[in-house]
Homo-oligomer: A and B are copies of this chain.
Amino acid sequence: MPPDPPVTAILLVNCRDRTGLVAALSTFVFSHGGNILDADQHAERDSGEFFMRLVWDLAGFDLGREAIQSEMAELARRFTLRWELTFSDHVPRVVVFATKASHCLYDLLLCQQIGDLGGTIVAVLSNHEFLADVCQHFDVPFAVIPVERDGKRKAEQEQLARLASLGADVVVLARYMQILSAEFVERWPNRIINIHHSFLPAFAGARPYHQAKERGVKIIGATAHYVTADLDQGPIIEQNVRRVSHRDEVDDLMRAGRDLEREVLTRAVRLHLQRRVLVSGNRTIVFG
């Protein structure tokens, strides 16, 4: 078995590209005794934007966490940075919203069980009883918050209260079949992850798999993205596709879609929890 990973600081940075930035940041780490374990940065020629992910070992680092925060704030002012600093021993707390479909939920729970998720699923909230036994099997708390017709506002207030009391860091919509209000979404910017099907070409309207069958598409896909007020248009975290053929009936397409959804959603959640995703405008930079 490999040794335990060290406790690290993980810094995500986005700014206009500036001479001296990498030197300033790496000197900051070095001058306090930190060893950089992973660094990935990229300056975009076209947009002039700069992106960086920097990971350093906290063993032997001579600054405490609050001091790191305040020194970083100072650097951020100097270089006009957007930044986010986390520590690897903070295990992010994940709340999953689900309805009846179990495939995405199982995949997230299996990923956690095997120790690969990078976070802890602290609760599953659903508008139905349906998935209670799945959560019980994995020893994860499950609660029903019903969404009555015309009762979405009330349900969302209860959901928000629950997220607060759970100390949640991120919400994962694992085929949660309700549309969250703009108010809800805006309180959790870039912290709600959704999965939906994608097609080449794209389809508007209902019953997309039937449309895909009628159009004879050769490839179907799934896209995981952060939720914004603009439905299904938030920053894309991860995508994948699968080939299909005329031998696939509509239910075969749906099955392939489910396989893609669970794979792409779990992968997106892991990337987020490992702090590999940086949002800039309406897109993400994913440090692979």
**Chain A residues engaging chain B, CB cutoff 8 angstroms:** 2-3, 5, 17-27, 29-31, 33-46, 51, 60, 102-103, 106, 110, 113-114, 116, 133, 137, 198-202, 213-219, 221, 223, 232-233, 235-236, 238-241, 245-247, 249-251, 255, 258-259, 263, 281-286, 288
Query: By the criterion CB–CB under 8 Å, are B23 and A31 in contact?
Result: yes
A119 CB, nearest partner CB in chain B, Å = 16
Integer count of this chain's copies in the complex: 4
Q: How far is the CB of A28 from chain B (nearest CB, A)?
A: 8
Neighbouring B residues of A33 by C-beta, 8 Å: 19
Beyond A19-B34, A46-B2, A245-B288, is A236–B214 a contact (Cβ under 8 Å)? no
When chains A and B are docked, how far (Å) is the Cα of A106 from the Cα of B105?
Answer: 13
Query: Are B137 and A42 in contact, with the CB atoms below 8 A?
Result: no
Q: Cβ of A246 and Cβ of B51 under 8 Å apart?
A: yes
Complex contact A239–B223 (CB within 8 A): no
Q: Which residues of B contact A218 (CB under 8 A)?
A: 236, 238-239, 286
CB <8 Å contact, A43 and B51: no
Q: With the chains together, A216 CA to B223 CA distance in Å?
A: 12
Return chain B residues, CB-CB under 8 Å to A235: 216
List 7 tightest A-B contacts by C-beta distance, closest first: A216-B283, A23-B30, A202-B202, A19-B35, A23-B26, A137-B137, A246-B285
B201 touching A2 by the CB < 8 A rule? no
Contacts of A26 in B (CB 8 A): 22-23, 25-27
CB <8 Å contact, A214 and B282: yes
Q: Indicate if the CB atoms of A36 and B30 lie closer than 8 Å.
A: no
Give bound CA distance, A116 to B103, whole Å: 12
